[in-house]
Chain A
Amino acid sequence: MSLFFPALNGRPGAERIARTATIALLIAAPFIIGPFGAAWVRALAFAALYVMLALGLNIVVGFAGLLDLGYIAFYAVGAYTYALLASPHLTENFPGLAHAIPHGLHLAIWLVIPLGAGLAALFGILLGTPVLKLRGDYLAIVTLGFGEIIRIFLNNLNQPLNLTNGPQGITMIDSASLGPIYFGKPYDVFGLFRMPPVYMYYYLLVAIAIVAIGVVARLQDSRIGRAWMAIREDDIAAKAMGINVRNIKLLAFALGATFGGVAGALFSAFQGFVSPESFSLMESIIVLSMVVLGGIGHIPGVVFGAVLLSLFPELLRHTVVPVQQQLFGRVLIDAEVLRMLLYGIAMVAVMLYRPKGLWPAPQHGLATPPGGQKARAMT
């Protein structure tokens, strides 16, 4: 917890209380929000997925300082990997396969997650290798292109061989299972009550999101994390100190892609259905907004940004329509349109007034030493 609230550093008692309170809140959340509608619990579960995505993109954009506008491609890779390995799609379209595997393709998600992550990482390295020497804007455009290429491939790989089922997407994807617990149907909790699948996914996704936070925090505070920061600050000096800048940037790409791949596989199991629509450029930009708005490079900020920007549209949708009905008798501005409008305004406002994000990293290192100078620009 001291990661989120540095004031707790060195106060183990207070830290323990904060941690317990947070965990209690996270456990209770679905029961508190559930009565308002299962859609809200679903929204929370998606928030956890977006936290994973935002953390992964933060490795690339925040830690290594590389602008990636096509990050959602890795999410897609993870999602389709699970979709293909845990649904009837391949066996239905390739009879040879159906003969070879009579029981159908139903790989357990715990097997597929490493596969999906690995495949996403591979794509990350394939994308990164030729483009890492590009600077800023050019890197952004190329990554944007890559994201679109993946989406277009997924959309069109239904001929001549129907690999991805094109725009119709892949349905009937298996739900996850954890040992005896199957996430596809309600679970009997000690005979007391039946927990709906969406609650179970919520807990699973939140748990994995917490692990993700831990992983990213450890990466930041390590030899690799320092190398990323050095590259961000001055890549020539970093090179002169023996850092293989190209490889360390590739590592950032690969690790970021891995997070995307894991989240994608989980998304696939959760939703039970994937289609290229979920992996548009807009999604890449939304994840990037979460990172930038929240606090680029700052893990708590990124988590905050992800939760805020994934829950906000839901809130909006539930208030905008009734409010407009009340005031005007009909809906003047569609919720989607209003959401985009507010997005744009939020972006501009953040860039003007809080360019480092809503929850930026606190100053790293102490400020003015005796005999020193205030933290002004170095020559």
Chain B
Amino acid sequence: MSDLVLNISGVNKRFGGLQALSDVGVKIRRGTIYGLIGPNGAGKTTFFNVITGLYTPDSGTFELGGKPYAPTEVHKVAEAGIARTFQNIRLFPDMTVLENVMVGRHVRTRAGGWGAVLRTKATLAEESAIRARAQELLDYVGVVRYADYQARTLPYGDQRRLEIARALATDPKLLALDEPAAGMNATEKVALRGLLERIGKDGITILLIEHDVKLVLGLCDRVTVLDYGKVIAEGTPAEVQRSAAVIEAYLGGAHKDVATKEAA
């Protein structure tokens, strides 16, 4: 199904005695926002790290945009079209905000050592284009006023937006966000939701890990729930909310009978 931007199945990952992921997979359709939720330690970030090449899986099939890809080298995965952000925000702290996003353009541009030294017309044109696109993206996410400031000086919420802008600069097929709302207050979450909805509407497929259930329910088209490395539910937010397995995972066995009510 070429309508699937990401088609992953059968992922297993073991760390010594711990089976971190057991037969995990997702199928994400183009233009949708897909959520990956689950209690702490369920394996969400591990799964992210597997699909982006940071960890090597023990097994699994991986397809991006209908074509198989090998999640062995991180930079190749980015080149193929998955751009990610990190749970702990990994910006380039001493570079300016604009430069952070310009680095995001690296993978789609070509100027090398010769171009840099000789400053050919082609190189200069490319640099201009990189700078312009970076400014555009900063404006898109709402941090263009910080363009010339060091990335480390930005307020927390804006650092997250910057990380998203940098990821968007790679022209990804899939934007993979690892807990983008972590550490944000209610107002910031509303703004983030607006940004993500806009990104989705502009045709970019999003996969996000998130703890804030309300955000996920409101934003995502479909959701997969992990617990102890296994998929325990998959479907629309409404379906997943009502799943007994999910409620048990989050609230414990005593609350199984809450199945018909909305989960907290």
- A and B co-occur in one complex: yes
- Which single residue of chain B is at the shortest CB-CB distance from A376? B152
Asked if residues A240 and B92 are in contact (CB atoms below 8 Å), the reply is no
Q: How far is the CA of A365 from the CA of B111 in the complex (A)?
A: 24
Query: Does B170 make an interface contact (CB < 8 A)?
Result: yes
- Which single residue of chain A is at the shortest CB-CB distance from B98? A365
Q: Could you say which residues of chain B place their CB within 8 Å of the CB of A369?
A: 145-146, 149, 153-154
- Which single residue of chain A is at the shortest CB-CB distance from B54? A236
Asked if residues A244 and B152 are in contact (CB atoms below 8 Å), the reply is no
Q: Closest approach, in angstroms, between the C-beta of B97 and any C-beta of chain A?
A: 8
Interface 1/0 per residue, B78-107 and A, CB below 8 Å:
110001101011111111110100111011
Q: Could you say which residues of chain A place their CB within 8 Å of the CB of B104?
A: 241
Q: Closest approach, in angstroms, between the C-beta of A221 and any C-beta of chain B?
A: 8
Query: Does B75 make an interface contact (CB < 8 A)?
Result: yes
Query: Does B126 make an interface contact (CB < 8 A)?
Result: yes
Query: Does B155 make an interface contact (CB < 8 A)?
Result: yes
Query: Does A229 make an interface contact (CB < 8 A)?
Result: yes
Query: Does A219 make an interface contact (CB < 8 A)?
Result: yes
Asked if residues B130 and A223 are in contact (CB atoms below 8 Å), the reply is yes
- A219-B113, A219-B116, A236-B54 known; A375 vs B152 contact (CB < 8 Å): yes
Q: Could you say which residues of chain B place their CB within 8 Å of the CB of A223?
A: 106, 109, 111-112, 115-116, 126-127, 130
Asked if residues B149 and A366 are in contact (CB atoms below 8 Å), the reply is yes
Query: Does A326 make an interface contact (CB < 8 A)?
Result: no
Most chain A C-beta atoms within 10 Å of own C-beta, residue among B74, B86, B158: B74
Q: Could you say which residues of chain A place their CB within 8 Å of the CB of B149?
A: 365-367, 369, 372
Q: Could you say which residues of chain B place their CB within 8 Å of the CB of A225?
A: 116
Query: Does A159 make an interface contact (CB < 8 A)?
Result: no
Query: Does B52 make an interface contact (CB < 8 A)?
Result: yes
B117 in complex: contacting residue of A219, A227, A245, A377, CB < 8 Å = A219
Q: How far is the CA of A251 from the CA of B113 in the complex (A)?
A: 8
On chain B, the number of residues with a Cβ less than 8 Å from chain A's Cβ atoms is 53
Q: How far is the CA of A137 from the CA of B90 in the complex (A)?
A: 24
* Residues 21-80 (chain B) with a chain A CB within 8 angstroms: 52, 54, 74-75, 78-79
Q: How far is the CA of A260 from the CA of B112 in the complex (A)?
A: 20
Query: Does B255 make an interface contact (CB < 8 A)?
Result: no
Q: Could you say which residues of chain B place their CB within 8 Å of the CB of A219?
A: 113, 116-117
B119 in complex: contacting residue of A218, A238, A376, A377, CB < 8 Å = A218
Q: Closest approach, in angstroms, between the C-beta of A334 and any C-beta of chain B?
A: 43
Query: Does A79 make an interface contact (CB < 8 A)?
Result: no
Q: How far is the CA of A223 from the CA of B129 in the complex (A)?
A: 12
Name the 10 nearest CB pairs between A and B, nearest first. Answer: A242-B107, A222-B116, A242-B78, A365-B96, A365-B150, A237-B90, A239-B74, A233-B92, A372-B153, A366-B149
- A contact set with B: CB distance below 8 Å: 215, 218-219, 222-227, 229-230, 233-234, 236-245, 251, 255, 363-369, 371-379
Q: Could you name 30 residue pairs across A and B whose Cβ atoms are closer than 8 Å? A: A222-B115, A223-B109, A223-B126, A224-B111, A224-B113, A226-B102, A226-B106, A227-B106, A233-B94, A236-B54, A236-B90, A237-B86, A239-B75, A240-B74, A240-B84, A241-B75, A241-B83, A241-B103, A241-B166, A242-B106, A364-B96, A365-B96, A365-B150, A367-B153, A369-B145, A369-B149, A371-B155, A372-B149, A375-B150, A375-B152
